[in-house]
C-alpha cells in the first residue's frame, strides 16, 4: 500500500511518540537526546532539548545538488566516543550512498559586527558560535550542552526522482544508541553543470602562512600536495577561479644582462587546479598595491637587475624602474598565455579597490595592460559610491561592493550594454540589514547572496577572506589587519579552517550554505531558460531588495520547494 505525505508524517510522529513513551515507562531519558534541526538554523551550546525541533524530518533536493540538515544532541552527563553514520538511502532508484556526517565545532566571537541592528544579530558577543565542521570522529557531547552533527547528502545527477528513506546511526563506540529515520524527496529538477556563475574566494598562499599552518615551503613536494588538496576542496564548493598570482609565481632570470622570466611554477599551479576540477578563469592577482591609509602612495614590487642579479624592490609606480619592469613582464606573461591558449581565461587585476584619488596611476597602468596584453580582460573590485567613469574603458569586469550601488543599477546596466560584465563582492561590509558571511549573522544571509546574484543579473561573486587566519583560528575569528588599524567583523577573514592532519581545509556551516546558494542560482538560471516569469517571481518573492529579503527558514523552504517543483 502506498502512503501519501500526510500518512507518512503521522507514521513518523507515532514512532517518535512511541519511543518517548517507552523511555518514560522505563523511568529514564535516553543517555543522549537527539532531534532534527534545519541546516539554516544555528544551534548554540545553551539551547535546551528540542530547540528548533523539526517534527517531520523530510528534506527536498534537486538532482546534482547537495542537501544538508542537522542532528542536535544533548546529554545529562558527558557522553564521549560518539559517532554518527549516514546509512545508504533506499528508494525508487539506486541507493544514495554519497553522504557524510561532520560535527559542528564552536568558535569564539569576541565582539559583534558593528553598525548592525540588534534584530539582525543572532546573539550578543562575547559568545561561542557554531561554525567549523570537524571531520574526525569520535566526538563528545558535554554535560547539559547542545551540539549538532551536520549531515550532507550529495544527490547524483542521474538519480531517479522520488522519495527515499534514510537513517542515521548514532553510536557510542560499537554500541548503537539509536537508528534515526528521515526522508529525502529527490525532485526532477537538476542543477546544471557547470553553473553559469563565477566564484572567487581569495586564499592566502604566502610562504609565511603555509609554513605556520602546514609546515611547508614553496616549491616543496608537500607544498604541491597542499595546493592540489586545496584545489580539490574548492572545486567541491563551486570555486571557478584559479587563484594564480602571476607576479608571485614567476621566477626572474638574468640572461645577457637582461631580465627574463621563468613561468614554470605558474604553469604547474594552473595545471594543478585544473586537474583538481577548477577550470574557470585564471585570476592573475593585482599588479599594484598600497597601504590601507590615507594618501598612501601606489606601489609596485618590481624585479630589477643589480650587479648582474635579479633583486625585488618595492617602488613607487611612477619610478622609471617600475615602468621598465612592467614593460618587460607583461609581454612575457602574454606570450606564455598565448602559447597555452589561456589568454581569454586570464583575468588581470590592477589595484585592489581603487578610488578616485588613485585615478591617474590606475588608468595609466590599466591602459598599459590593454596595450601589452591584447585579449586579456581586466577585473577590479571597486566601491560604487564614487564616480565610476574612469573604469568605463579600462576595466572589463566590474566587481562592485554590495551596499554601495543600490541607487546605481543604471550605471551597472550601462556597463553591461557596453559589453562589460558585473559581479559583486563583500569584504568587511556591507553591514546593517544587508546580507553577508559574518559568523554572528544568520545562515540565510549567506545563502541569499546568490539569489541576489540571479535577481539583479550579476555574473559572479568575490570575497577576499578564504583562509586569512590569525594564529588561533578557532579562538580568534576577528584578526587585526592593515598594520593593526583594522579590526575585522567575526568570520570576515575566512570561511574555512586549517586541516593540518589532512594537509587541506575544513569547511564551515557558512561555506556549506554558500554552496547550496550557488546551486539555487543554478536552478533559477535553468528554470529561466524555459519559464523566465516563474523564475523571476520566485526570486522576487525571496528577495525584494538588497535589505528586504526572507529572514525565516520556514518561508525559505516553502519558496525553495516551489522552485524545485517548477520544472
Average pLDDT of the segment spanning 498-514: 98
The answer to whether residue 17 scores a pLDDT higher than 60 is no
The answer to whether residue 91 scores a pLDDT higher than 80 is yes
- Measure the CA–CA gap between 431 and 108, rounded to whole angstroms: 20
* pLDDT value at residue 486: 83
Identify the band that residue 485 occupies on the pLDDT scale cut at 50, 70 and 90: confident
Angle, vertex CA 556, rays to CA 239 and CA 530, nearest 5: 70
| Grid cell digits, residue 183 | 526522508
Q: What share of the chain in percent tops pLDDT 70? A: 95
Extents of the domains making up the chain: 1-30, 31-189, 198-244+268-281+363-564
Average pLDDT of the segment spanning 363-388: 97
The answer to whether residue 80 scores a pLDDT higher than 50 is yes
Identify the band that residue 21 occupies on the pLDDT scale cut at 50, 70 and 90: very low
* pLDDT value at residue 8: 45
Q: What is the pTM of this model?
A: 0.94
- Measure the CA–CA gap between 154 and 167, rounded to whole angstroms: 15
* Residue-wise pLDDT tens digits, 433-444: 999 999 999 999
The answer to whether residue 11 scores a pLDDT higher than 60 is no
* Residue-wise pLDDT tens digits, 268-286: 999 999 999 999 999 999 9
| Grid cell digits, residue 66 | 547537495
* Residue-wise pLDDT tens digits, 36-52: 999 999 999 999 999 99
- DSSP alpha helices (H): ranges in 185-342? 207-214, 221-235, 246-249, 264-276, 320-340
* Residue-wise pLDDT tens digits, 320-361: 999 999 999 999 999 999 999 999 999 999 999 999 899 999
Q: What share of the chain in percent tops pLDDT 90? A: 91
Identify the band that residue 484 occupies on the pLDDT scale cut at 50, 70 and 90: confident
The fold of the 31-189 domain, in CATH, is Immunoglobulin-like (2.60.40)
Average pLDDT of the segment spanning 452-477: 97
* pLDDT value at residue 29: 58
DSSP character for 271? H
* Residue-wise pLDDT tens digits, 178-223: 999 999 999 999 999 999 999 999 999 999 999 999 999 999 999 9
* pLDDT value at residue 12: 45
Identify the band that residue 31 occupies on the pLDDT scale cut at 50, 70 and 90: confident
* pLDDT value at residue 28: 54
Neighbours of 140 (CB within 10 A): 14
Backbone angles phi, psi at 94, to 5 degrees: -60, 150
Say how many CA atoms lie within 13 Å of 383 toward its Cβ.
12
Identify the band that residue 300 occupies on the pLDDT scale cut at 50, 70 and 90: very high
Identify the band that residue 1 occupies on the pLDDT scale cut at 50, 70 and 90: very low
- Measure the CA–CA gap between 432 and 441, rounded to whole angstroms: 10
- Measure the CA–CA gap between 350 and 367, rounded to whole angstroms: 10
Amino acid at each position: 500500500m502506498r502512503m501519501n505525505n500526510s500518512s507518512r508524517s503521522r507514521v513518523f510522529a507515532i514512532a517518535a511518540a512511541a519511543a518517548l513513551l517507552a523511555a518514560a515507562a522505563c523511568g529514564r531519558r535516553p543517555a543522549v537526546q537527539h532531534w532534527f534541526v534545519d541546516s539554516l538554523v544555528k544551534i548554540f551550546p545553551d539551547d535546551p532539548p528540542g530547540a528548533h525541533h523539526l517534527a517531520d524530518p523530510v528534506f527536498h533536493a534537486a538532482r546534482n545538488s547537495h542537501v544538508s540538515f542537522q542532528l542536535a544532541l544533548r546529554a545529562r552527563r558527558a557522553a564521549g566516543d560518539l559517532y554518527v553514520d549516514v546509512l545508504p538511502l533506499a528508494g525508487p532508484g539506486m541507493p544514495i550512498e554519497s553522504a557524510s556526517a561532520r560535527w559542528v565545532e564552536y568558535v569564539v566571537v569576541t565582539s559583534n559586527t558593528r553598525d548592525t541592528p540588534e534584530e539582525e544579530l543572532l546573539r550578543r558577543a562575547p559568545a561561542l558560535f557554531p561554525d567549523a565542521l570537524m571531520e574526525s570522529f569520535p566526538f563528545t557531547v558535554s554535560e547539559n550542552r547542545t551540539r549538532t552533527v551536520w549531515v550532507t547528502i550529495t544527490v547524483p545527477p542521474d538519480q531517479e526522482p522520488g522519495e527515499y528513506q534514510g537513517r542515521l546511526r548514532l553510536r557510542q563506540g560499537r554500541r548503537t544508541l539509536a537508528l534515526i529515520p528521515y526522508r529525502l524527496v529527490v525532485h526532477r529538477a537538476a542543477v546544471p553543470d557547470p553553473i553559469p556563475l563565477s566564484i572567487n574566494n581569495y586564499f592566502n598562499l604566502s610562504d609565511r602562512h603555509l609554513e605556520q599552518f602546514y609546515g611547508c615551503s614553496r616549491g616543496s613536494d608537500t607544498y604541491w600536495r597542499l595546493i592540489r588538496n586545496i584545489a580539490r576542496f574548492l572545486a567541491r564548493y563551486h570555486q571557478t577561479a584559479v587563484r594564480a598570482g602571476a607576479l608571485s609565481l614567476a621566477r626572474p632570470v638574468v640572461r645577457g644582462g637582461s631580465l627574463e622570466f621563468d613561468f614554470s611554477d605558474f604553469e604547474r599551479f594552473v595545471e594543478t587546479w585544473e586537474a583538481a576540477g577548477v577550470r574557470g578563469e585564471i585570476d592573475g592577482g593585482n599588479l599594484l598595491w598600497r597601504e590601507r591609509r590615507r594618501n598612501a602612495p601606489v606601489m609596485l614590487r618590481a624585479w630589477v637587475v643589480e650587479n648582474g642579479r635579479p633583486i625585488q624592490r618595492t617602488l613607487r609606480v611612477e619610478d622609471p624602474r617600475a615602468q621598465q619592469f612592467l614593460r618587460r613582464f607583461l609581454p612575457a606573461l602574454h606570450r606564455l598565455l598565448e602559447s597555452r591558449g589561456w589568454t581569454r581565461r586570464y583575468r588581470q587585476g590592477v589595484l585592489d579597490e581603487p578610488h578616485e584619488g588613485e585615478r591617474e596611476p590606475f588608468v595609466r597602468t590599466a591602459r598599459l595592460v590593454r596595450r601589452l596584453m591584447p585579449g586579456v580582460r581586466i577585473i577590479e573590485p571597486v566601491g560604487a559610491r564614487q564616480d565610476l567613469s574612469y573604469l568605463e574603458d579600462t576595466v572589463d569586469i566590474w566587481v562592485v561592493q554590495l551596499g554601495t550601488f543600490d541607487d546605481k543599477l543604471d550605471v551597472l546596466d550601462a556597463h553591461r550594454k557596453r559589453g562589460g560584465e558585473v559581479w559583486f563582492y563583500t569584504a568587511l561590509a556591507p553591514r546593517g540589514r544587508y546580507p553577508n558571511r559574518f559568523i554572528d549573522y544568520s545562515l540565510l544571509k549567506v545563502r541569499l547572496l546568490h539569489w541576489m546574484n540571479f535577481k539583479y543579473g550579476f555574473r559572479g561573486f568575490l570575497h577576499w577572506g578564504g583562509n586569512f587566519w590569525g594564529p588561533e583560528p578557532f579562538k580568534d575569528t576577528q584578526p587585526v589587519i592593515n598594520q593593526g588599524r583594522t579590526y575585522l567583523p567575526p568570520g570576515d577573514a575566512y570561511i574555512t579552517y586549517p586541516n593540518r592532519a589532512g594537509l587541506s581545509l575544513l569547511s564551515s556551516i557558512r561555506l556549506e550554505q554558500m554552496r547550496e546558494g550557488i546551486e539555487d542560482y543554478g536552478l533559477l538560471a535553468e528554470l529561466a531558460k524555459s519559464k523566465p516569469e516563474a523564475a523571476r517571481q520566485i526570486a522576487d518573492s525571496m528577495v525584494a531588495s538588497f535589505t528586504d529579503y526572507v529572514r525565516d527558514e520556514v518561508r525559505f523552504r516553502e519558496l525553495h520547494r516551489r522552485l524545485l517543483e517548477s520544472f
